[in-house]
Amino acid sequence: MKNKKLLTCVVSALMTASMLAGCGSKAPTSSSTTNKQEKVNLVFWNAYSESENKVMKEKVIPKFEADHPNIKVKSVQMPNDGLKQQVIQAISGNSSPDLMRMDIIWTPEFAKMGALTDITGLDGFSALKDGFFQGPLQTNFLEGKYYGMPLDTNTKSGIYSKKVLAQVGLTEPPKTYEELLSVAGKLNKDQYLIGCDGASPWSLNPYFLSFGGKITDEKNTVATGYLNSQASIDALTKLVGLYDKKILGPCLLGGKPDKWGGVTTDKYLMIDDGPWFFTGEKPEQTATVVSATLPTGVAGSISVVGGENVVMFKNAKHPKETWEFAKFLVSDFSQTTMEVEAANIPTVQAVANSPAVLAVPNVKTYIEQLKTASPRTPSANWEKINDKISIEWESAFRHKKTPIQALNDACKAVDPLLQ
């Protein structure tokens, strides 16, 4: 998705979106209300799995249509591969759907294009806003406005080998990194303390941020002074040192054992991963581990935010009805149903902490972790920013650059992308 062809499509999309933006953001008004006898057809794009789509089509949409008999919703299951390209082409051809379940890292980019509806002032949003987990909510925020709502979310917590915990003398997962690191000497030569895969922000931010590092200022406008601050230098230096001492496992740079295989075969004491571990692994393997929030570092127990937002496109034919369906997707009914029956973690805090949701195995840990989870920098250029940071961080782990050099070079590359 980073080739010249995509860049050409993006430029085309920007030109088209700019023309559309000249007409202003059309907020839902009574003028879009149809006669009660007339059916309104909405198109909802998503990349749900088969099991998720089944719940959406058989439980959520029928409930909405029963409550709104004049509205018919067509849920279109899109392939993950090439989805971003298809969205760009749809925008360029003025054929985008009414609304979409969109990856959280894409939302600022499409908002910057002018393709999404600013929902900040729409009826009911202000009442909904404070009820969301703030990390997922912020992925919709760009230049003072909101362009979507968090639909489902996820984060990464600690997953520990029960056998290795007992081996190092711990009766429960450690509460702090200091406690975790203190047992490193009790591991065998073929064991590692932490399994973390990749030198990217998604992989390393739980450690980099918890150890005091920063990516940008609070307004996400500059990296210099933050990504290369003394606290960030100390955080990256510590991580490089842990890798050199074989405390961070070889999967950090693509070696074996991988995270899942390492923790279920007692090669890693702890890995960081999301709830998909418990739905993706076999029951006999998940029975060998226990989950807990990530340990606390000098800056706290900080993880990353993943998930999807629900966004409305500016060319929605029936904006009022589209907004009604968007609000329904974050209602108590929809959020509870999609978690209990499809394992989608709710973004609404009250729903996430309800008895029905907390009764789902392992979900409680992730909901607790979400309270302090930090979103990746909301930026239209996030994918480029991610690549620049990843390259520089990896250069530090491979000792091609010192941590100071890597972070200084990262700032030089990232600052222009934030402007």
pLDDT tens sequence across 227-257: 999 999 999 999 999 999 999 999 999 999 9
- What is the distance between the alpha carbons of residues 220 and 215, in angstroms, rounded to a whole number? 8
Consecutive H or E run containing 276: helix 276-280
Please state whether beta strands 289-292 and 141-142 pair in parallel, antiparallel, or not at all (unpaired): unpaired
State residue 419's pLDDT score.
86
- For residue 87, pLDDT over 60 is answered with yes
Q: Is 419 helix (H, G, I), strand (E, B) or coil?
A: coil
Arithmetic mean of pLDDT over the chain: 91
- For residue 51, pLDDT over 50 is answered with yes
State residue 28's pLDDT score.
53
Per-residue pLDDT of 61-72, as tens digits, reads 999 999 999 999
Please state whether beta strands 99-103 and 40-46 pair in parallel, antiparallel, or not at all (unpaired): parallel
Per-residue pLDDT of 292-321, as tens digits, reads 999 999 999 999 999 999 999 999 999 999
Residue that the structure tokens 């075969």 belong to:
265
Per-residue pLDDT of 5-36, as tens digits, reads 333 443 344 334 433 333 334 445 433 444 45
State residue 7's pLDDT score.
36
State residue 32's pLDDT score.
42
Residue that the structure tokens 């195995």 belong to:
361
CA 239 from chain center: how many Å? Answer: 23
The single-letter DSSP state of residue 11 is: H
Two structure tokens written together for 397: 């782990």
Query: Which domains does the chain carry?
Result: 31-154+306-370 (3.40.190.10), 157-303+381-418 (3.40.190.10)
Two structure tokens written together for 118: 């600013």
Per-residue pLDDT of 380-411, as tens digits, reads 999 999 999 999 999 999 999 999 999 999 99
Place 37 in a pLDDT band, splitting at 50, 70 and 90. low
State residue 70's pLDDT score.
96
Burial 270-290 (b: 16+ CB within 10 A, else e): bbbbbbebbeebeeebbebbb
State residue 405's pLDDT score.
98
The Cα diameter of the chain in Å comes to: 73
Per-residue pLDDT of 133-169, as tens digits, reads 999 999 999 999 999 999 999 999 999 999 999 999 9
Contact 295, 179 (CB under 8 A): yes
In 3D, which of 351, 348, 342 has the Cα closest to residue 150?
A: 348
- For residue 4, pLDDT over 60 is answered with no
- For residue 84, pLDDT over 60 is answered with yes
